[in-house]
């Protein structure tokens, strides 16, 4: 599509990076607004902002490599090992960044005696909102593309990275739509006092992760980009399934704990 927003003799600005930057700005602004509304101290996060960014980059890179092992390790050599550190090749998984941020958030909350669940409730809606913007960038980049389709909204990509020359599913746009919808729904639900169970610290965050994981799992059935398969299932689907199962267990435990507390 339009992977390069601006190209000059001296430098090139990639469209993907523009949307990732826009997503980070929007996510940060939303995160601050939600934190203030929920009575959380922004200073706590600002003190660990660099750690959060570094963990996000590392997580994004690691998951991207795991999902594209055949690309990074077409041979085992010093060259391919060094290439894993070249993050400027745009090999970053936005989902991996969120997972790493959640892990880092848990560590610093545990260390500083902060309520991890309250912070999770503001991090997930904000992160998903930023992630949705990033997906628009992947559409212009031509990555995360879908399988051939006869549906009227199928799109043609003129890119050597894409193996199909016929209309394919715009899976990046699907991801943008369901991620944006989940994020906005979580933000709106968090404002209401009627849904009592969702006011329990951690419910918004866990439901957000679970909902995103389920939709992402379904999206993988429409994806056409290459990845390793295990018993006919794409590696990303297996990873997402584990995340969803783990999130579901957390959701059950939180709900069960609340139910027991109410009985007492």
Three-class DSSP category at 88: helix
Q: What is the pLDDT of residues 69-111, one digit of tens each?
A: 666 766 677 777 777 776 666 677 777 887 888 888 889 988 8
Map 233-252 to HEC letters.
Answer: EEHHHHHHHHHHHHHHHHHH
Displacement of CA 57 from its chain's centroid (Å): 12
Mean pLDDT of 108-122: 88
Q: Is the pLDDT of residue 201 over 70?
A: yes
Rounded Cα distance, 264 and 233, in Å: 45
What is residue 21's predicted lDDT score, i.e. its pLDDT?
Answer: 87
Q: What is the pLDDT of residues 206-247, one digit of tens each?
A: 888 888 888 988 888 898 887 777 777 777 777 777 777 776
122 by Cβ neighbours in 10 Å (0-12 / 13-18 / 19+) ranks as buried
What is residue 151's predicted lDDT score, i.e. its pLDDT?
Answer: 92
Q: What is the pLDDT of residues 136-170, one digit of tens each?
A: 988 888 888 899 999 999 998 877 778 888 899 99
Note the pTM of the prediction, 2 decimals. Answer: 0.81
Q: What is the pLDDT of residues 167-185, one digit of tens each?
A: 999 999 999 999 999 999 9
């Amino acid at each position: 599509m339009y992977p390069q927003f601006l190209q000059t003799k001296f430098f090139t600005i990639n469209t993907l990076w523009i949307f990732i930057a826009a997503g980070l700005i929007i996510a940060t602004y939303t995160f601050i607004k939600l934190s203030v509304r929920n009575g959380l101290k922004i200073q706590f996060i600002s003190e660990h902002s660099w750690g959060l960014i570094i963990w996000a980059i590392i997580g994004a890179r690691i998951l991207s490599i795991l999902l594209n092992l055949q690309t990074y390790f077409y041979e085992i050599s010093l060259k391919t090992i060094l290439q894993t550190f070249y993050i400027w090749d745009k090999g970053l998984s936005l989902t991996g960044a969120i997972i790493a941020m959640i892990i880092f958030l848990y560590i610093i909350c545990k260390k500083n005696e902060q309520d991890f669940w309250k912070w999770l409730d503001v991090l997930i809606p904000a992160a998903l909102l930023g992630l949705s913007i990033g997906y628009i960038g992947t559409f212009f980049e031509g990555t995360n593309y879908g399988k051939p389709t006869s549906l009227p909204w199928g799109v043609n990509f003129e890119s050597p990275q894409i193996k199909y020359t016929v209309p394919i599913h715009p899976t990046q746009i699907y991801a943008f739509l369901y991620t944006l919808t989940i994020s906005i729904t979580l933000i709106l639900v968090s404002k209401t006092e009627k849904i009592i169970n969702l006011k329990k610290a951690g419910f918004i965050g866990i439901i957000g992760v679970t909902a995103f994981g389920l939709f992402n799992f379904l999206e993988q059935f429409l994806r056409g980009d290459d990845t390793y398969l295990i018993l006919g299932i794409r590696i990303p689907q297996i990873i997402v399934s584990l995340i969803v199962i783990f999130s579901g267990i957390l959701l059950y435990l939180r709900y069960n704990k609340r139910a027991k507390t109410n009985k007492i």
